[in-house]
Structure 1
């Protein structure tokens, strides 16, 4: 069972260049709308932004914020309409390009998402969030080498970014490069010792390694560490129990570890 998570910024709090909002301080409705958006009061934010849009239909910031509001409400079609309008007015607006890429990715339009996010990367190549999102997009598109390059770019910008190491571990595991997967998961855990998803995935990696280095005791250790962080990890609990039983039976019956099928059926990575 795979559980999709986005372990990085949801981009509701504003652009990386905060001067953008401050320059629009003359609009009380706009600033109130931004405050509502940040607080998660999306209906009120929408109401205020629509008032602003009536006053100026070409206000890029208002269109961008409306895109965020509708995206937060899962109305992706309307979000994309507002963001596309904003891009037509200001093609070089990084925040709008980034948001449009996010919405396109959520809609499943991977081609447009890649176009928008790569364009955003050309406008602001120092954005960590941009590269993390681009890496996640490439993973979904099965462009695994590009996914690796995107996450390596994050590490180039921030060598302490545990999410980038986690994602690299995931990509290398998908590619069957277990040694690199282990190295990157370990790096993520070194940076964040209670990183439950990394602990779980590292356990899975030790359990199913394809390079003749399968280590069930290490797998069990990391499953137990993951459970210590998050006791609700059902996959980890099932896998740990199966491995524990297998190892105990192996001690009782040298040369035979009992049933193999539970070990082949219990593991599950999380992204």
Structure 2
């Protein structure tokens, strides 16, 4: 069964941020830092008064389905009580694919039910555990999503998708150090993943390690030159410098717009000032 990655819709980050996604990178959760919100998700809660006021928005967008086997059209298959192992295996694959289709269609409840059916047959099915965690995340069940991802990591500690999704959850909870630690593990196990690098840059910035943040975002762009969110986020950090690197920020912001990123009035105001 294919793995889902951090939500594939683009998101905004908060911290010194506003609102948006983290997604996983298959559904993988995944997006940006701060407050994550996908286009089809309900808005995340506003930062509390004790937190630093939001300033410029960050963006992050998880990739689509990763580490996935080729998908073919399959009809849902019920699992007979006394099914032969081979039949069970085919049924699990078909149900898992149904879950992925439901997730991609935005029907996260149906996706959750499909992954739960898979886990009844194969309790340690890693893609199902990670994808179910992604579905729970999109349904707003953060504690359950975290539990499932941690369970998957007990089985396979070097799974970058699970680490990334876990880090996104911590970003949304505004736990910057935990998010940084989790996303760093994703990068350790998948160093050439531009999405993980983008998230690591945002997490570093959330911890106010701005040099490290810029370094990771530049690495994300090296790995994927047309990565709009990484260009956008780098523009934000350039404006956060003291003094701001306005021309460099303008260059990366314009590149992000050319690549399809939505214009942002806060960034444009900062560039004019």
Question: TM-score range, shorter-chain basis?
Answer: 0.5 to 0.7
Show the counterpart of 2:13. none
Deviation string 1:119-159 (CA, Å, 9 cap, x unpaired) is 11111111111111111212222221111111111122123
Deviation for aligned residue 1:25: 6.2
Show the counterpart of 1:14. 65
Q: Distance in 2 between matches of 1:167 and 1:66?
A: 29
Show the counterpart of 1:192. 257
Does residue 87 of the first structure (1) align with residue 102 of the second (2)?
no
- 1:82-231 correspondence to structure 2 within 5 Å: 82-178=148-244, 180-190=245-255, 192-193=257-258, 195-197=261-263, 200-207=266-273
Distance 1:165 1:184, change over 3 A: farther
Paired positions, count: 203
Show the counterpart of 1:61. 127
Deviation string 1:9-34 (CA, Å, 9 cap, x unpaired) is 345x422x223989x86522111111
Deviation for aligned residue 1:101: 1.4
Larger Rg: 1
Distance 1:18 1:119, change over 3 A: same
Q: Distance in 1 between matches of 2:65 and 2:262?
A: 29
* Partner SS state of residue 19, structure 1: coil
Distance 1:176 1:198, change over 3 A: farther
Distance 1:2 1:9, change over 3 A: closer
Deviation string 1:78-124 (CA, Å, 9 cap, x unpaired) is 00000000000000112111111112222222222112111111111
Q: Distance in 2 between matches of 1:166 and 1:104?
A: 22
Show the counterpart of 2:19. 4
Larger RCO (alpha carbons 8 Å, 6+ apart) = 2
Unaligned runs of 5+ in 2: 1-15, 22-58, 73-88
Does residue 42 of the first structure (1) align with residue 86 of the second (2)?
no
Unaligned runs of 5+ in 1: 208-271
Q: Distance in 1 between matches of 2:125 and 2:255?
A: 45
Deviation for aligned residue 1:161: 3.0
Which stretch shows the higher mean deviation, 73-82 or 137-146?
137-146
Between structures 1 and 2, the one with greater helix share? 1
Q: Distance in 2 between matches of 1:90 and 1:21?
A: 23
Q: Distance in 1 between matches of 2:123 and 2:242?
A: 51
